Chains A and B, each alone.
Chain A
Amino acid sequence: MSVVTTTRDAGSGLAPSTIAVRSWKAPIAFAIFTVLGAVLFIALARGGDTTYRLSNDGDAIVLPPIVLPADATGIATVVLMAAIAVYAFLLVRSVRKVPLWLTTIFAILFLLGFLTWAAAGSTVPLVGLLAGALTVSTPLIFGSLGGVISERVGVVNIAIEGQLLAGAFVAAMVATLTGSAIVGLLAAMVAGALVSVILASFAIKYLVDQVIVGVVLNVLVIGLTSFFYSTVMVADPDLFNKPARFERLTIPLLSDIPILGPILFNQTIIVYIMFALVPTVWFALFKTRWGLRLRSVGEHPKAADTVGINVRATRFWNVLLAGAIVGGGGAFFTLAAIGSFTKEMTNGAGFIALAAVIFGQWNPIKATLAALLFGFATNLQSTLSIVGSPVPSEFMLMLPYLVTIFAVAGLVGISRPPAASGKPYIKS
């Protein structure tokens, strides 16, 4: 599908100086989605109008709802999508890259067309849809940030699910016992880090395969939390499973911005921490000495060792840090979203976070966007099932996993993990 043109230096004939990659993946993907859109929105048009409700009644600034005729919108989006596909085709033919903003616009167009088609004849509460998506995404984002750090330093983290679950359990228990949600959050971070200690010590000290440790840790955490849930929490829920919850903090002025305000600035402290954490992790990974060392250990541990970086220690402490971040995300389940612990309540969120790490190409910003996309797809499914959608909800829920398989199979973008990820470093 892709053609690699290599020009070599005339003199040495050895080192490739410029490599231009002509990848047809983007135009082909665009074309497929355009055809899919044409089939759904035009051939299987459902008629009627779709109403987008932009604000709730109590908001400071109330926007009027937008009404889109389903059929016309479908045709318009398909035409625009086809234009973008053709433009991308021309770009690639002249050996230029398809920019990210073009892909983003294409994705938004497709989503708009899809939403208008699926909800034809009913009302979509846009604010509720997006706010719900953020709620679903929050633990995914924490999980994927931890996953990015862990994999960048060279330790595959399949145990994200276990770390989230451990964080959720410990947060519920400690916040109930101490009556303080903040202490619960800190305890959840310690719990996530403890799971990481097992992962790190088995993977780094005993050189056990990281995938095996990760898989086993998930089972172990499910077993331990379910065991203590059944023995301790069920026996006396008031004493052990009624955590103090984080209240929503409304930021004045900002929360009055139409649409965005209620979504972004009327949240719990955990979400605000997340807003700060994503750019921080990105900056730390790519702009600081710590990040450079971390990445060098994950890409080429031997070279890092040669220049005096302690590979094992770097891996150990950063895997712990990653665990603490994921554990803090687990606290979101019990301290913000749901309010009490139940058996296996993370329900595969850790694996979606893992998918986001891969789909986001091991980059904190892209992984966050991927987690938001997956959270949106999950929440869209529940919204559509309320308004009565023609697409079975199972297929919407399947989407993150399907997309990830396409990503690792190289059909969407490039999927290249850190070179030394998953390989133990044995100092010779």
Chain B
Amino acid sequence: MSDDTTKPSGAEAHEQTSAEAVHEQVVAHETGRDASEPPVPRGNQILKEIFGGSAAISVLAVVLALIVGGILIVMTDEAVAEASGYFFSRPLDTLTAAWDAVAGAYSALFRGSVFNYLRADDLVAAFRPITETLANATPLIAAGLGVALAFRVGLFNIGGRGQMLIAAAAAGYVGAYIPMPPVIHLIVALVIGIIGGALWGGLVGLLKARTGAHEVIVTIMHNYIAFYLVSFLLRTPGALQAPGQNNPKSGPMLETAQFPSLLGEQYNLNIGFILVILATIYTWYLLNRSALGFRFRAVGENPHAAQVAGINVKTVYVQVMLIAGGLVGLAGVYQVLGNFTGGFAAGLDAGIGFTAITVALLGRSKAWGVFFAGILFGALQAGSYTMQAAEGIPVDIVLVVQSFIVLFIAAPPLVRSIFRLPTPDPLFRWRTPKLDRVSEVSK
């Protein structure tokens, strides 16, 4: 354990707290009510954990995760396996092969995500990777913002997939089947899609506020309900299915509803990226400068205190899930109007709903943090395709690297113990027990 310093020393402290616990039981029994103060929900503690860590932890977590990825690459590399057959006669061969495998993989990752130096003669091809990174990052940032916003209120929004699907279905229907004049069509489809995501998310907030249903369970179940609902619509003629088709796939988006590209047709980057920058600014403003955001953060810090201060916590749950659902919905709209413009299927979320959770955690649930975390994950995704094409490393390795990043970020003590960093005090302050609780009750 790395937290030895925070433990009260010796048996004396333990004895005291045991006695306190017994006393609390007795008080609780005698008064017929729960003597302890209302517990601060789990989500609020993790908030402190998220903000307690430093930027150094984030960087080190990424480095550690890339090292783990490197180990996987070495383990499955054929040249390394061959060289390790005669490891004891020529150990250097194995190390060289391992280095070649990892260096080859990560340079391919760089070529696929930032700058393709092998094609430096052709500027379009050389700069294409960075635009691919931004294009991949666009839905991740939007969905990440939605998850992060809910985190700030102490809610876990695992329903990214469902919110994306409903938003995509709504926007896709308008985009593919309702002809409208140019600019107006795009705006209407965008707004309808965001409203769809917002309502689907808001339903979770409403259930939480009215019945106390746990949002984690509700969002997980909502994901599947949305998936089957959209699957049904996609194979029903007259709903979303392309006319005259048998595949469960929608018709292509009309020209007027598609996101216009930003840098010309040779790049995939489109106006969605501008929308995501706006969404980031909006989220930053909402959380840091608006009265509503203040209420959000107050509930996130401590819902009981917020309630006492006159904030309607239940309304806040509904409001935040509406906005969060709308932000995740933007990611769904981007997928249909900006990415799969030729028609979409039920797999359109492409795991973004879940990756968004990792993006929000890496970005420490702050608007600009999420923005840059989204770009990093977009880069990993864009680069993984090059890595697969050039080095034969399956794209699934990105999932492994991403999940290790989050595991390391979520456990700062682990990263600290690996790199032998000092333990900052503020992080552990919330762990200190409240010893005056019993005296308060007995007054």
User: Footprint of B on A, CB under 8 Å?
Assistant: 14-16, 156, 158, 198, 202, 205-209, 211-213, 215-220, 222-224, 226-228, 230-232, 302-303, 305-306, 348, 351, 354-355, 358, 392, 394-395, 397-398, 401-402, 404-405, 408-411, 415, 417, 422-423, 426-428
Shortest distance from the beta carbon of B442 to any chain A beta carbon, whole Å: 15
In the complex the two chains form, what is the Cα distance from A92 to B394 in whole Å? 60
In the complex the two chains form, what is the Cα distance from A426 to B410 in whole Å? 17
Closest 9 CB pairs of A and B: A223-B399, A428-B433, A230-B394, A220-B403, A226-B396, A394-B232, A223-B400, A206-B411, A401-B221
* CB atoms of A212 and B207 under 8 A apart: no
Shortest distance from the beta carbon of B231 to any chain A beta carbon, whole Å: 5
Known: A223-B399, A306-B18. A215 touches B357 (CB 8 A): yes
Chain B contacts for A228, CB-based, 8 A: 76
* CB atoms of B76 and A206 under 8 A apart: no
Residue from B30, B76, B207, B410 in contact with A209 in the complex, judged by beta carbons closer than 8 Å? B410
In the complex the two chains form, what is the Cα distance from A411 to B211 in whole Å? 9
* CB atoms of B406 and A428 under 8 A apart: no
Chain A contacts for B393, CB-based, 8 A: 231
Shortest distance from the beta carbon of A273 to any chain B beta carbon, whole Å: 28
Interface assignment of B386: CB less than 8 Å from any CB of chain A: no
- 25 A-B residue pairings within 8 Å (CB atoms): A156-B216, A206-B411, A206-B413, A208-B46, A211-B216, A212-B361, A216-B358, A216-B407, A219-B354, A219-B399, A220-B403, A223-B396, A227-B394, A305-B18, A306-B21, A355-B221, A358-B217, A392-B232, A392-B236, A395-B232, A401-B222, A408-B211, A411-B211, A426-B433, A427-B17
Chain B contacts for A226, CB-based, 8 A: 394, 396, 399
Chain A contacts for B411, CB-based, 8 A: 202, 206, 208
Q: Decide if the interface of chain B is mainly helix, strand, loop or mixed.
A: helix
Interface assignment of B305: CB less than 8 Å from any CB of chain A: no
In the complex the two chains form, what is the Cα distance from A422 to B214 in whole Å? 12
* CB atoms of A158 and B224 under 8 A apart: no
Closest residue to B16 on the A side, CB-wise? Answer: A428
Chain A contacts for B31, CB-based, 8 A: 14
In the complex the two chains form, what is the Cα distance from A198 to B407 in whole Å? 10
Residue from A303, A351, A398 in contact with B228 in the complex, judged by beta carbons closer than 8 Å? A398
Residue from B25, B76, B207, B355 in contact with A405 in the complex, judged by beta carbons closer than 8 Å? B207
* CB atoms of B212 and A410 under 8 A apart: yes
* CB atoms of A410 and B213 under 8 A apart: yes
Shortest distance from the beta carbon of B96 to any chain A beta carbon, whole Å: 21
Residue from B13, B221, B355, B407 in contact with A404 in the complex, judged by beta carbons closer than 8 Å? B221
* CB atoms of A215 and B158 under 8 A apart: yes
* CB atoms of B224 and A216 under 8 A apart: no
* CB atoms of A232 and B39 under 8 A apart: no
Chain B contacts with A in 375-425, Cβ cutoff 8 A: 393-394, 396-400, 402-404, 406-407, 410-411, 413-414
In the complex the two chains form, what is the Cα distance from A117 to B216 in whole Å? 36
* CB atoms of A405 and B222 under 8 A apart: yes
Q: Using an 8 Å CB-CB cutoff, how does the interface string of B352-366 with A read, 1 for contact, 0 for none?
A: 001101100100000
Closest residue to B22 on the A side, CB-wise? Answer: A306
Residue from A202, A220, A427 in contact with B400 in the complex, judged by beta carbons closer than 8 Å? A220
In the complex the two chains form, what is the Cα distance from A78 to B403 in whole Å? 51
Residue from B42, B394, B398, B410 in contact with A422 in the complex, judged by beta carbons closer than 8 Å? B42
In the complex the two chains form, what is the Cα distance from A328 to B431 in whole Å? 37
* CB atoms of A158 and B216 under 8 A apart: yes
> Beyond A14-B31, A219-B358, A398-B228: 10 further Cβ-contacts under 8 Å?
A156-B216, A158-B216, A208-B411, A212-B156, A212-B361, A230-B394, A358-B217, A392-B232, A410-B212, A411-B211
* CB atoms of A15 and B407 under 8 A apart: no
Among B76, B221, B357, B404, the most chain A Cβ lie within 10 Å of the Cβ of: B221
Residue from B32, B49, B396 in contact with A16 in the complex, judged by beta carbons closer than 8 Å? B32
* CB atoms of B232 and A426 under 8 A apart: no
* CB atoms of B232 and A409 under 8 A apart: no
* CB atoms of A213 and B407 under 8 A apart: yes
* CB atoms of B410 and A202 under 8 A apart: yes
Shortest distance from the beta carbon of A208 to any chain B beta carbon, whole Å: 4
Shortest distance from the beta carbon of B258 to any chain A beta carbon, whole Å: 28
Chain B contacts for A415, CB-based, 8 A: 213
Shortest distance from the beta carbon of B155 to any chain A beta carbon, whole Å: 11
Q: Using an 8 Å CB-CB cutoff, how does the interface string of B1-32 with A read, 1 for contact, 0 for none?
A: 10000001000011001100110110000111
* CB atoms of B414 and A227 under 8 A apart: no
Chain A contacts for B224, CB-based, 8 A: 348, 351, 397-398, 401
* CB atoms of B410 and A211 under 8 A apart: no
Closest residue to A415 on the B side, CB-wise? Answer: B213
Interface assignment of B262: CB less than 8 Å from any CB of chain A: no
Residue from B17, B216, B221, B354 in contact with A428 in the complex, judged by beta carbons closer than 8 Å? B17
Interface assignment of B286: CB less than 8 Å from any CB of chain A: no
